[in-house]
């Protein structure tokens, strides 16, 4: 009996020492870990305090309102896409990169978007490509755009307002439009393009400038017939001058 007790004691001590050794050697290893290949559905890049700074995700795990990131609700109206989301030091979303591409019933639909948001607001810069095919016709547009956003814009406030407007839209669409204009006048909602560089949907390649209401003011471009043009627009969006002048 004494021999058995001694054996059990020695075995228990040896087991504890072995487990301790394995644990220490397993977690003591430092430096970068090397992988030849890794499959993952989502990666959250975090700071030491747990603040999420970047999310790399597939379609199914793309955040769209069912979860919170940095204790803040995510956009429920955004369609899921594969890509990345960026967050600033305060945990507020500040931009992202998404893309897709698939065949449709009579063609295809593909696109890419890289955006940067103003602080606690929506996008003020966007690199956008859209590729739409229908039958034997194909339209491809690629632009770099710079936008104006409201000074008093807030992501959380915008989410609340959009929910309010959606409820109002179902009851009274006209009242919803008036309410939107009120928020726009207060500098809470809105946003307009100011500068676009690239290829438009009308297949014009050039520089396109807009006023603070989003109306076109000047365009310097090469059209699909390879003609170089410079157009100026009035407050209503009508061409008031062109170079070279249009021939009657």
Helix axis angle, 173-185 to 155-171, nearest 10° = 150
Supply the pLDDT for residue 20.
63
Mean pLDDT of 58-80: 90
Supply the pLDDT for residue 33.
83
Mean pLDDT of 94-110: 95
User: Distance between CA 217 and CA 234 in Å, rounded?
Assistant: 7
| Structural tokens at position 128 | 């956008």
Residue 66's contacts (CB-CB under 8 Å, 6 or more residues apart) are 74, 76
Mean pLDDT of 51-56: 97
Give the CA dihedral 116, 64, 180, 120, nearest 10 degrees: -40
Average model confidence (pLDDT) across the chain: 89
Helix (H) or strand (E) holding 18: helix 2-28
> Is the pLDDT assigned to residue 11 strictly greater than 90?
no
Supply the pLDDT for residue 228.
96
> Is the pLDDT assigned to residue 14 strictly greater than 80?
no
> Is the pLDDT assigned to residue 17 strictly greater than 80?
no
> Is the pLDDT assigned to residue 64 strictly greater than 80?
yes
DSSP annotation of 86 reads E
Which tens digit of pLDDT belongs to each residue from 229-242? 999 999 999 999 99
Q: Give residue for tokens 């006023």.
A: 211
> Is the pLDDT assigned to residue 154 strictly greater than 90?
yes
Q: Which residue has the higher pLDDT, 16 or 87?
A: 87
pLDDT band at 220 (very low <50, low <70, confident <90, very high): very high
Residue 213's contacts (CB-CB under 8 Å, 6 or more residues apart) are 192
> Is the pLDDT assigned to residue 89 strictly greater than 90?
yes
> Is the pLDDT assigned to residue 186 strictly greater than 90?
yes
């Amino acid at each position: 009996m004494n021999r058995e007790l001694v054996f059990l004691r020695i075995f228990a001590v040896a087991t504890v020492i072995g487990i301790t050794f394995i644990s220490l050697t397993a977690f003591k290893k430092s430096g970068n870990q090397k992988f030849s290949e890794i499959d993952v559905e989502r990666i959250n890049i975090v700071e030491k305090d747990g603040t999420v700074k970047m999310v790399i995700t597939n379609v199914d795990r793309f955040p769209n309102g069912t979860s919170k990131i940095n204790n803040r609700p995510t956009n429920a109206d955004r369609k899921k896409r594969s890509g990345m989301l960026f967050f600033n030091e305060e945990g507020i979303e500040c931009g992202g990169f998404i893309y897709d591409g698939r065949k449709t019933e009579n063609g295809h639909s593909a696109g890419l978007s890289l955006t940067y948001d103003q602080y606690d607001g929506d996008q003020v810069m966007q690199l956008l490509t859209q590729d739409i095919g229908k039958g034997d016709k194909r339209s491809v547009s690629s632009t770099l755009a710079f936008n104006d956003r409201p000074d008093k814009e807030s992501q959380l406030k915008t989410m609340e307002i959009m929910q309010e407007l959606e409820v109002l839209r179902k009851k009274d669409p006209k009242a919803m439009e008036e309410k939107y204009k009120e928020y726009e006048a207060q500098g809470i909602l809105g946003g307009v393009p100011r500068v676009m560089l690239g290829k438009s949907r009308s297949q014009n390649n050039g520089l396109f400038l807009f006023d603070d209401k989003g109306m076109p003011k000047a365009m310097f471009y090469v059209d699909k017939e390879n003609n170089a043009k410079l157009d100026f627009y009035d407050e209503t969006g009508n061409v008031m001058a062109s170079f070279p002048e249009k021939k009657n």
